[in-house]
Amino acid sequence: MKFIWASVAKFITLGIESSCDETGIGLYSEQDGLIAHQLFSQVEIHAEYGGVVPELASRDHIQRVLPD
């Protein structure tokens, strides 16, 4: 008996990046390339304070990354 193995797996990579005031995500397929991406900016959240407020930034990062 002879077996022929064929790879049909399609690997997709999830990338998550965060800086002090942005959160970015991307999905990349080894077969299809970039599938989707999104960037969430916190500029409006911090504008009234004149700079990044670490507590507000960390809360927003958590809300953007964790599922509902």
Write the DSSP assignment of 35-68 as a string of letters: EEEEEEE-HHHHHTTTS--HHHHHHHHHHHHS--
Residue spans of the chain under pLDDT 50? none
pTM over 0.85: no
Residue 22, judged by CB atoms within 10 A of its CB (0-12, 13-18, 19+), counts as middle
pLDDT for res 67: 76
**Assigned token pair, 2:** 């002879």
pLDDT in the model for residue 50? 94
Supply the pLDDT for residue 2.
60
Cα–Cα distance for residue pair 36/25, rounded to 1 Å? 8
Tens digits of per-residue pLDDT, 31-42? 899 999 999 999
Residue 34 phi/psi, 5-degree rounding, is -70, 120
